[in-house]
Amino acid sequence: MISYEQALSKLLSLVEYIDVEEVNLEEAHHRVLAVDAISSRDQPPFDTSAMDGYAVKKIDKVPHKNLSVIGKVTAGNSFARSISKGEAVRIFTGAPMPKGSNSVLIQEDTIPLESGITICEKFEKKDFVRKKGCDYKAGEILIQKGKILSSFDIALLASMNLPLPKVKRQPRISIISTGDELVFPGTVPGPNQIVASNTFGLKALMKKWGATCHILPIARDNKLSLEKALEIAVPADLVITVGGASVGDHDYVSEVFRNIKVEYSFYKVAMRPGKPILAGKNKGTIFVGLPGNPVSALVCAHLFLKPLIGKMLGTRELINIEKKAFLQNDLPENGKRKHFMRALLKDGYLEVCKNQDSSLLSVLQKANSLAIREPNEPPAKKGDLISYLELD
Ligand code: AMP
Ligand code: MG
């Protein structure tokens, strides 16, 4: 059996280039930027007033000085003349500074006169001028490729006048549940049946990580049914099966993958949960067989599919990063396989859940982290530093 690290690196090496598309800004939220966003203009494009008040020459900002007001300028317009000493132009926020002016006297610091203003005894010394290019300058890389676009990125792209950002195409993923015992939610389960859950959790996760997913009809525990499901699963960048991946008499995934010419990358990984995981590739499609137990399937998705989708999208933001926290409870010696234990991180302390059975969705639902135990690691005590990954 190979280690988790070896399996992950083999899986990531299967990734091919995913193409680039242009999307409207309104559709760009959470998409991955495919090329650096470079500004072609200065922002603001001209010196602009930051306040409502009077544009003046800075040397005229003297207590009790009278200034004659020679006109006004509003946002979106300009003032035709240049101003001279002793003159002021009424100005509003966002309006370009008139030629000859270099400071704004805020209106609260002035007293109106018949043909002008007088400056109050006390006034704000600041200029209240936003200089050309003070936000950003033409030629600057403002957002690097590989960034998952946030709402603030979208606003920045809009201000740069980039209405059609280039983003990575969303990977297309097909998910197939396998099992005679499964029905979809909303169906009344027959005797001995349970409701398929993994599939829906998987779809939600992968949508969040930037892929588009289709849940296909449930494949039953026979080769023909699974082959048919796999036929409609392609074309796709990634096909995921859930369940049927162990070595039971009714586990057909590995055999059927082989029948449809999936070239194996690995089968079985020395980890808990999720030992019976397999992956391979046929033409441009990556195939991953996840274990059926709900916790195993969803934890393996975090450990394998999140970075896989990240690599497809060309972003580093989906790489799982190990962090450290203090243990809240004692742990026994670990077994031979690397163990990813469901845990709850609270106030810097990591409480490892008591029951680690891989069928317990209710435990996973309360967890927010995976405590990491290396193979054969000695017992750990409350207060020890332990590595963990965040679940999201
Ligand atoms: P398997 O890997 O097919 O042996 O399945 C292991 C366990 O996971 C069995 O108890 C299955 O009933 C359960 N299981 C398999 N697929 C799903 C699914 N999509 N949703 C919920 N439980 C499942
Ligand atoms: Mg099964």
Where along the chain do its domains lie? 4-17+169-313, 20-43+135-168, 48-130, 323-390
Cβ-in-10-Å burial (0-12, 13-18, 19+) of 120 comes to middle
Q: What pLDDT sits at residue 249? A: 81
Tell me which architecture the domain covering 323-390 has in CATH.
Beta Barrel (2.40)
Confidence of residue 392 (pLDDT cuts 50, 70, 90): confident
CATH of 48-130, one of 3.40.50.1370, 2.170.190.11, 3.30.420.80, 3.40.50.300: 2.170.190.11
Distance CA 229, CA 227 (A): 5
Does the pLDDT at position 333 exceed 90?
yes
Distance CA 284, CA 286 (A): 7
Q: What is the CATH number of domain 20-43+135-168?
A: 3.90.105.10
pTM of the model: 0.94
The predicted model gives 27-49 an average pLDDT of: 97
Q: What pLDDT sits at residue 71? A: 97
Q: What pLDDT sits at residue 267? A: 92
The fraction of the chain above a pLDDT of 90, given in percent, is 96
Instruction: Ligand 1, residue 244: give the atom nearest the CA.
Output: 3
The predicted model gives 238-250 an average pLDDT of: 90
Q: What pLDDT sits at residue 247? A: 79
The predicted model gives 321-344 an average pLDDT of: 97
Considering every ligand atom, which ligand is closest to the CA of 361? 1
Confidence of residue 322 (pLDDT cuts 50, 70, 90): very high
Q: What is the CATH number of domain 4-17+169-313?
A: 3.40.980.10
Give the DSSP per-residue string, 239-262: EEEES--SSSTT--HHHHHHHTTP
pLDDT in tens, 62-120: 999 999 999 999 999 999 999 999 999 999 999 999 999 999 999 999 999 998 999 99
8 A C-beta contact, residue 295 and residue 361: yes
Confidence of residue 251 (pLDDT cuts 50, 70, 90): confident
Confidence of residue 378 (pLDDT cuts 50, 70, 90): very high
Instruction: Say how many C-beta atoms besides its own lie within 10 A of residue 95's C-beta.
Output: 23
Q: How far is the CA of 105 from the centre of ligand 1 (A)?
A: 72
- Please give all residues whose beta carbon lies within 6 A of any atom in ligand 1, as ranges: 177, 179, 181-182, 194, 196-199, 242-246, 291-294
Q: What pLDDT sits at residue 222? A: 95
Distance CA 47, CA 196 (A): 61
Q: How far is the CA of 392 from the centre of ligand 1 (A)?
A: 22
Return the residue whose CA atom lies nearest to atom 7 of ligand 1: 293
Q: How far is the CA of 1 from the centre of ligand 2 (A)?
A: 22
Q: What is the mean pLDDT of the chain?
A: 97
Does the pLDDT at position 233 exceed 90?
yes
